[in-house]
Structure 1
Amino acid sequence: MTNKTNFPDQRSTMFAPSGSSLLSEMSFLVLVAVTFLSALFLYKVLRRGHGAKTLPSGSMGLPLIGESVSFLRAQKEDRGEEWINKRVAKHGPVFKTSLMGSPTVVVIGQAGNKFVFGSDDNVLTGKQPKSFTAIAGKHQIFALTGARYKLIKGAMVSFLRPESLQNYISHMDDLVKTELLKETKEKETIMAVTFMKKLTFNIACSILFGIHDEPIKEALFTDFTLAFKAIWSIPVNFPGTLFRQGLQARSRIIKKMLPIVKKRKEELSKGTLSPRSDVISCMLALKAENQELITEEEIMDNFILLMIASHDTSATLLSLMVWKLARAPELYQKVLEEQMGILKDREEPQRQLTWNDIQKMKFTWRVAQELMRIIPPVFGNFRRAVKDTSFGGYDIPKGWQVFWVSNATHMNKDIFNDPTEFNPSRFENPSKPIPPLTYIPFGAGHHMCIGNEFARVETLIIIHHMVTKFDWSQVNPDEMITRQPMPYPSMGLPIMLNARNPSEKA
């Protein structure tokens, strides 16, 4: 009988890895494969438009992600200018990087602004990064060109130009007084950022879109808050990511709005609703040259874009105004004197504000202009090369993004004397005229923000009621600014209110 001992086969133990080492080897192979594919993808992107021979210097960062993480982190910590300046010092005023999933050329200074804002749409288009387009929609005006762009932009502008705004003043004035009284009733402290976001959102809903149902507005506000945070996120559609949350918020917005759009379409066909009632009705009535109507998808995309553009930039500026006036008593006093002067000049003290009253708020608006110079609501924005082009001696391949930066000229000492000094008088008959394309909080040229006048009127009406009814102080005097992606006081700006007339808070 043979004594058989069960030893393991040495050949199998020599060549077959254990469970843990097998996992490690597989992980290594996956890593190698991903790295190779990412490198191949990046190489092809860089080679796209291979006629480009002289790319600017710079770093493309990690495969696929690029430098998006460090850029977004710098934005959140309000170090965006530092992030840009570090690369300008190393590579010059034109450099390459990769942001939001696309290769990007960053251009700095007046010449760069002229290139971006002066280029025709057949050179640079307003197409935005993948995250923005996925959430705002592929049919919003930034993504359109030609006749379709002019048609939809024309409909929006018709509601935002000064002649139309004059008709909204009394309605906006009533809304602000009502919402301010509601927010401050029996309260000594309010969260100014949240209040300004809700107030400007309600104004946009009511005046621009004719949405008055309170539960609908509340639900839309929650979803738009998420969507806006996600438009400058890394476009990774995994559970839990900000991008995924933004996509889900977009879906909910569309689900809530489609019944409203369908109802208005029916009312328009019956003649019970005028196309001039609101922006949605106006777009529903639009017809292209071939008599083709605007689709519901186009209406949804442009509703989302205009809602984002019309309320968040204004909320940013208003939050910064409240923040600045709390920190600068001398500025607050001058703004108060101007606004009280408007009240005293009225023949009927209780009447609503008028267009003429708004035009008298010159110093208040200069404070806003100076704030937007030092802390621009929009740090910068993207364009996209439609074809191979060039700037500053460098080639920009077709499909690459071009990113412009407002601070580059706003804080340039050769353009603005003592640029770090807060000085609203620089916008009042300046001895040194501001050169064109250097002050760009709303963009410039035919790419100027279509809602800039709406934002001015809205801001001035709200500040008028804030300073004539209250003075205030910061709960956290050292509260700093962070970008989300707009610049906001980092703690939500809690302020303590003191009513000038105690009955205002009754």
Structure 2
Amino acid sequence: METMFSSSMDELRKMNVSVSAIVYSVCAMLSIYIAHWIYRWRNPKCNGVLPPGSMGLPFIGETLQLIIPSHSLALPPFINTRIKRYGSMFKTNVAGRPVIVSADTDFNSLILKQDGKMVETWAMDTFAQVFENQEMQSSMKYIRHLVLNHFGVESLRDKLLPQIETFINHTLHKWSTQDSVEVKSAAITAAIDFAAKEIFNGDLENAPFSISEMYRDLVEGLMSFPINLPGTSHHKCLQIHKKVRGAMRDVVKKRLETPERQQEDVLDHLIGDMGTHKFLSGDFIVQLMFGLLFVASESITTTLALAFKLLAEHPNVLEELTAEHDTILKNRENPDAPLTWNEYKSMTFTLQVINEVLRLGNIAPGLFRRAIKDIHYNGYTIPSGWVILIATSALHLNSDEYEDPLAFNPWRWQKIQQNSANKHFMPFGSGTKQCAGAEYSRVFLATFLHNLVTNYKWKMVKGGKIVRAPIIRFPDGFHFHISKKN
């Protein structure tokens, strides 16, 4: 009996040793695999030498460091610390995507000139889901022509300028009747309302929700981590997209059912072209209108809100700006006549102020491209498929190009040559991909400033904080009391 028990114990011990050996082997193999996987994450494959940098943690990369908020107009710490450590070009990983961040003006100029050859336009996941589809990528030439036709220089000069001024006069009068105005939110409402009138003649006026409020919430989700779960900013952003698109789809359907169309707006133009361009489906038109409303509002409203704050804080700039516009009024035969195109073109200092606000504001995180072939530059290789972020904020705040770069100094633009500006100033993109609505934005801002400084005064009553995370936000708003001048 004892012999049998002893024999069984020996067999059990041997079995335990075997199981332990298997467990240890599996753990060892798993450890080797994980170690190899982490090594490959930190050292991606490349047919050459990658720029210096860090790929961060597995799966999330350096996303958390990127979205840490900073509370100033200075270069975001994520970019600033890495440029100091690695130089003007470095590698990183954001939300699982390998990215090259560049503040190298020569490299930026190279790839922008090679758009469509070395690189292609790219958008972050949320942007891509909300604004783009394959047909839009392949029809950019048509879209650019459409935007220039309705919002370009000729349309601004011949039709839109007096409409913009009338609309702004009405907006400012309305603001002046209130105790205080949160300028960013109010400006979004104004910019969206005006653009909607030009795009589909305000056909959403009777929608069961405020389209401008929808767009305010949309912006908060565009730079969010792409996790589509209830309660997340990304999920809310996609829900807004769905809701507004549904309302716009009803507008398009109603317009298509109307035998005679005489609105002469963007929607009529699109419907009229449906027979000659196969990509112009109802869904394409809805998506395009949705995107046009965004680009016609976001840069304008953020720049305008920041201009209110900066002008209030710099009375010497406000004094010269006001003098320029008072001179325009004095030179008119009829002081009450509408603003003319020649008067707009004469606003030298105004446009310098706008440039300076755009430079400091850095509304977009940068310009995104994706390498469509291996790119060799300065001893480094950017692999095909990698995303390239041209860090415009690093260009706009470069102390080698802009003396005291954080100072609000519109006079600096008197000395900046056009060639230098093309390389170091890209608020609306660059080259053939520059935003087709750039001149529209400048005209809208200049017209607003003209009517503001000649007829109104303002002071901040609440808020004023600025946060970058990484796009610029005003967490407690810019609340101003606006009143008519005596």
TM-score by length of 2: 0.85
Task: Work out the CA distance in 2 between the residues paired with 1:376 and 1:341.
Answer: 31
2:92 alignment partner AA? T
Separation in 1, partners of 2:324, 2:372:
48
1:175 aligns with 2:175: no
Whether 1:284 aligns to 2:271 is yes
Cα pair 2:456 2:484 within 8 Å, conserved: yes
Q: How has the CA–CA distance of structure 1 residues 475 and 116 changed in structure 2, closer, same or farther, with 3 Å as cutoff?
A: farther
Deviation per CA, 1:415-461: give whole Å up to 9, x if none.
23343333222222548973541111122111211111000010011
Contact 2:188–2:298, Cα closer than 8 Å, also in 1 = yes
* Residue identity opposite 1:496 in structure 2: H
Partner of 2:126: 131
Whole-angstrom distance in 1 between the partners of 2:485 and 2:380: 59
Distance change (3 Å), C-alpha of 1:37 and 1:247: farther
- Match status 1:214 vs 2:205: yes
User: Map of 1:285-434 to 2, 5 A cutoff?
Assistant: 285-286=272-273, 291-430=277-416, 434=420
Q: 2 CA distance for matches of 1:257 and 1:52?
A: 47
Residue in structure 2 matched with residue 98 of structure 1 by the alignment: 93
Aligned equivalent of 2:261: 272
**What is the Cα deviation at residue 75 of structure 1?**
5.8
Separation in 2, partners of 1:41, 1:257: 46
Partner deviation per Cα, 1:8-60 (whole Å, 9 max, x = no partner): xxxxxxxxxxxxxxxxxxxxxxxx99xx899959958975xx56332222122
- Please say if residues 471 and 497 of structure 1, whose CA atoms lie closer than 8 Å, have aligned partners that are also in contact: yes
Give SS of 2:399's match: coil
Q: CA deviation at 1:105?
A: 0.7
TM-score scaled by length of structure 1: 0.82
Q: 1:314 to 1:140 in 2, by over 3 A?
A: farther
Residue ranges of structure 1 left out of the alignment (5+ in a row): 1-31, 502-506
CA 1:391–1:219 in structure 2 vs 1: closer, same or farther (change >3 Å)?
farther
User: How far 1:381 sits from its partner (Å)?
Assistant: 2.7
- State the 1:168 CA deviation: 0.6
Matches within 5 A, 1:468-479: 468-476=454-462, 479=464
Q: Quote how far apart the aligned CAs of 1:301 are.
A: 2.3
How much does 1:288 deviate?
8.7
Q: Which residue of 2 aligns with 1:153?
A: 144
Q: Do residues 495 (structure 1) and 486 (structure 2) align? A: no
Residue 87 to residue 258, structure 1, CA distance change in 2 (3 Å): same
Match of 1:450 in 2: 436
Alpha-carbon distance change, 65 to 44 in structure 1, aligned in 2, over 3 angstroms = closer
- Partner letter of residue 127 of structure 2? F
DSSP 3-state at the match of 1:105? strand
Aligned residues of 1:94 and 1:108 also touching (Cα < 8 A): yes
2:113 alignment partner in structure 1:
118
Distance 1:475 1:397 in 2: 51
Q: Distance in 1 between matches of 2:242 and 2:35?
A: 30
Shift of 1:389: 2.4
Corresponding residue for residue 164 of structure 1: 155
* Partner Cα separation in structure 1 for residue 134 and residue 72 of structure 2: 32
Asked if residue 250 in structure 1 is aligned to residue 241 in structure 2, the reply is: yes
Q: Match of 1:315, SS?
A: helix
Mind listing any 5+ residue stretches in structure 2 that lack a counterpart?
Answer: 1-28
Deviation of 1:101 after TM superposition, in Å, equals 3.8
User: Which residue of structure 1 aligns with residue 15 of structure 2?
Assistant: none
CA distance in 1, matches of 2:339, 2:416: 29
The one-letter code matched in structure 2 to 1:206 is K
Q: How many residues align?
A: 457
Distance 2:453 2:35 in 1: 55
Contact kept, 8 Å, 2:47 with 2:381, in 1: the verdict is yes
Letter in 2 for 1:170: P
Cα gap change, 1:377 to 1:278, in 2 (>3 Å): same
Query: Which amino acid in 1 is paired with 2:179?
Result: E
Q: Which moved more, 1:407-416 or 1:311-320?
A: 407-416
Is 1:203 the counterpart of 2:194? The answer is yes
Q: Evaluate the alpha carbon distance shift between residue 237 and residue 451 of structure 1 in structure 2; reply closer, same or farther with a 3 A threshold.
A: same
Comparing 308-317 and 58-67, the one that deviates more: 58-67
